Amino acid sequence: MTTTNGQWFPPSWPDRIRALAAGTLEPVTPRRAATVMLLRDTPAGPAVHLLRRRASMAFAGGAYAYPGGGVDPRDERNVGWAGPSPAHWAARLGVDPAPAQAIVCAAVRETFEESGVLLADVADTTGDDWEAGRCALVSHELSLADFLTRRDLTLRSDLLAPWARWITPEFEERRYDTWFFVAALPPGQRARDVSGEADHTVWLRPAEAAARYDRGEVRMLPPTIATLRQLASYATVADVLAAAPGRDLSPVLAHAALDGGQIVLTWPGHEEFTKRIGAAE
C-alpha cells in the first residue's frame, strides 16, 4: 500500500492499469452501493460520523470512510415508505424506480448496520431488542423490509439527500457505483460504535478531518476526502441539506493514461488526486 497525504493506493494498481491499457484486463462490473454522511450540529459547525475500516478488510482496509456498502437484492422488496417516491428518486439518481428504491434502502440499512442510527419513524434504537435486529440484518437473517415490518416502522426517504456519485476505477479488482447521501442525525438517536467492519469511529468537523488527511495522519479514498472538503464550507446541517438538491450527480470516474514510462491517474474535476506512478515507485 502506498500513501500520499493520507491517500490510499493499492500496490496492484500499476500492473492492472497497464493490463487495462493493453486490452488484457476486462473491467469488473461495478456493484451498486450507497454511503451516508451522517451529520450533527455542534457549536463549531457540522460534524460528520466517520469510521476506520479494519486493516484486514479486502476493500479500503485502514481507511476512514462513512457508513455504507453494496446494495442487497432484497433491498428491492417493498417497504413502508415515507417521503419522496421511488419514481422521484429514480429521476434524481439516474436509474429506474426499482434500483432507486434499492439504493435508498441500502443507504438506510447500511447506516443502521454500521452506526445504529435508523432513518425511519423512530426516536430511539438502543436496547437489546434493537441490537438483535441490527445483528440479524448484518448476518442477512433479515431483510430491511422484514426488519421494518416486524416493528411496524416506515422508512423515511425524506431524511436522505443525494450529494455525489463516484464509480470505482475500471482497473480496480472490486468496483462500486456509489451514491453518497447526506442525512441529519435524527432527534433522540445516537451513533454507536457497532460496526464489525470498523475498529474506530469518530465525529469530526469536515475541515478537521480534511486537515488530518493533509497532515498524513489518516488515510482516505478520494471520494471521502473530496466530499469532506465540500462539506467544510457549510455552517449548519440545515445548510448542507438545503444545498443537496442543486448538487450535480454526474458520476466521477478515475482515468488512467500511459505517458512514456509513467502512469498518470486523474479524477475529472478533482485535480488534487492526480498522481504519476513510475518505475521508481
For residues 154 and 82, the answer to whether their CB atoms sit within 8 Å is yes
Percent of the chain topping pLDDT 70: 91
Predicted local confidence at residue 269, as pLDDT: 92
User: CA-based diameter of the chain, in Å?
Assistant: 61
Residue with cell 428504491: 101
Residue-number span of the structural domain to which 61 is assigned: 2-277
**Under a CB-based contact definition with an 8 Å cutoff, are residues 195 and 201 in contact?**
yes
pLDDT computed for residue 16 by the predictor: 87
- Residue tagged 433491498 (cell numbers): 75
Is the per-residue pLDDT at 3 higher than 80?
A: no
Q: Count of domains in the chain?
A: 1
Q: Which residue has the cell 443502521?
A: 112
Instruction: Say if residues 270 and 276 touch (Cβ distance below 8 Å).
Output: no
Q: Give pLDDT, residue 7.
A: 56
Query: CA end-to-end span of the chain, whole Å?
Result: 11
pLDDT digits (tens, 9 = 90+) for 56-91: 555 555 789 999 999 999 999 999 999 999 999 999
Distance CA 194, CA 185 (A): 16
For 204-245, the pLDDT digits (tens) are 999 999 999 999 999 998 999 999 999 999 999 999 999 999
Give all strands (DSSP E) within 77-197, no chain letters: 81-82, 155-156, 161-167, 176-184
Of the ranges 10-19, 202-211, 264-273, the best mean pLDDT one: 202-211
Is the predicted pLDDT of residue 187 greater than 50, yes or no?
yes
Taking residue 132's Cβ as centre, other Cβ atoms within 10 Å add up to 11
Nearest Cα neighbor of 111 from 138, 87, 78 is 138
Please say if the pLDDT value at position 4 is more than 70: no
Q: What is the CATH number of the domain that holds 184?
A: 3.90.79.10
Condensed to tens digits (0 to 9), the pLDDT of residues 28-41 reads 999 999 999 999 99
Contact 265, 259 (CB under 8 A): no
Beta partners for 161? 182
List, in sequence order, every residue forming a beta bridge with 51; answer none if it has no partner: 65, 201
- Asked if pLDDT for residue 270 goes beyond 90, the answer is yes
